[in-house]
Amino acid sequence: MISVCFYFQVHQPYRLRHYSFFDIGQDNYFDDQKNREVLLKVANKCYLPMNRLLLKMAKEHKGEFRFTFSLTGTVVEQYRQWCPEVLDLFRALADTGSVEFLSETYYHSLAGIYSEKEFREQVKMHAKLMRDEFGVTPTSFRNTELIFNNHIGWVAADMGFRSIVTEGTERILGWRSPNFLYVPRYSPQIRTMLKNYRLSDDIAFRFSDRGWTEWPLTVEKFAPWVHNVAGNGNVVNLFMDYETFGEHQWEDTGIFRFMEHLPRAIWTHPDFQFRTVTEAARKHEPVGEVETDHPISWADMERDLSAWTGNSMQREALSTIYELEEPIKRIGDPRLLENWRKLLTSDHFYYMSTKFWQDGDVHKYFSPYGTPHEAYVYFMNCVADLRQRVQNAVAWQ
């Protein structure tokens, strides 16, 4: 049986307010009004209707339709504060037994690249959050933005995870297919599930594109593309942002109807079954190794780190914020530590990207700021204030 794995990423950052040089001295870095506004908008357009639909489908199909989520700590915290109904529906989904919740970094950070110590701490924080909120203990792992290299694979294996999900890019596959399981070269005990980015992006990015030669996308058209994997694969990994449904692809595109009717279209072929990430990793045997010292991700055309490290502003911001890790942890002030960790969220550096063309348009769409330079200035002003607070605390001690 071939496993079809839907995996949905759920994340919202703590966006910064327009924190000017003259605000330094105030530690209210985050724009609560904007964050609440965005959270409620996305809840009403995506999370609430899609959760209700998936709950209906899970019950209707009596456990045969199975899927996987990953929720960051920052999105859970904000919905706990501003729209707890969203979390209630995720708990209801967990109770169906048809849903898996993956582990990840609590603050959706790039710590896997910049600080192994912080990376491990955030993953442990996130695992506790999943137990406390949903009563589950994650057994599979996804790193921020599916970022992966040999070392991240080794650390995930060392922390006891059974599988890790990442991008099925040709950079690590070469001529091979993402529709099989692999293992990281130096960590054969953990299995690697690779995103089929062509089929995933047909839903996530091209669904409503009237310039696409395959528009409109229907279940009658999409299901045979999935069925084509028969004989040349064991898994079809459809990984995407949860906001695909209702936020990126609006309700009037038919995206909810598409999702509702897709399972039955897939089941017209007797060899296909929906499984969660861990279930598929257990079901199938790896066919080879994947290996890369240079990180890959699911972002932008390059599928590397350039979405967050592609220019000097981003690199300086990252270097500056991670330099504060040791003194902040030594001080032991919970508020300082929490603010520092919220500033590690990858979105802050994503907003500083100066890419052009289609990738640049995507960065602009998500950014709450007028320009990448604006994002950089507000961030660095917050860091300047945080650094001053660290220096004051060290002097007082």
| Residues with catalytic roles | 145
Sign of CA dihedral 355, 171, 115, 123: positive
Q: How far apart are CA 195 and CA 105, in angstroms?
A: 19
| Segment holding 300, helix H or strand E | none
Residue 176 C-beta-side C-alpha neighbours within 13 Å: 19
Question: Is the Cα dihedral 290, 224, 284, 280 positive or negative?
Answer: positive
Centre a 10 Å sphere on the Cβ of residue 354 and count the other Cβ atoms it contains.
15
Q: Which residues contact 284 (CB under 8 A, 6 or more apart)?
A: 3, 180, 181, 234, 235
Residue carrying structure tokens 């960590």: 187
- Which tokens sit at 196? 């089929």
H/E stretch holding 306: helix 306-309
In degrees, rounded to 5, the angle at the alpha carbon of residue 195 between the alpha carbons of residues 372 and 91 is 85
Question: Is there a contact between 82 and 36 (Cβ–Cβ < 8 Å)?
Answer: yes
Largest CA distance in the chain: 69
Find all residues with CB under 8 Å of 368, minimum gap 6, and list them. 15, 31, 34, 38, 351
**Alpha-carbon distance 342 to 30, whole Å?**
9
371 dihedral zone (left: phi>0; alpha: psi -120 to 50; beta): beta
CA–CA dist 72, 74 (Å, integer): 5
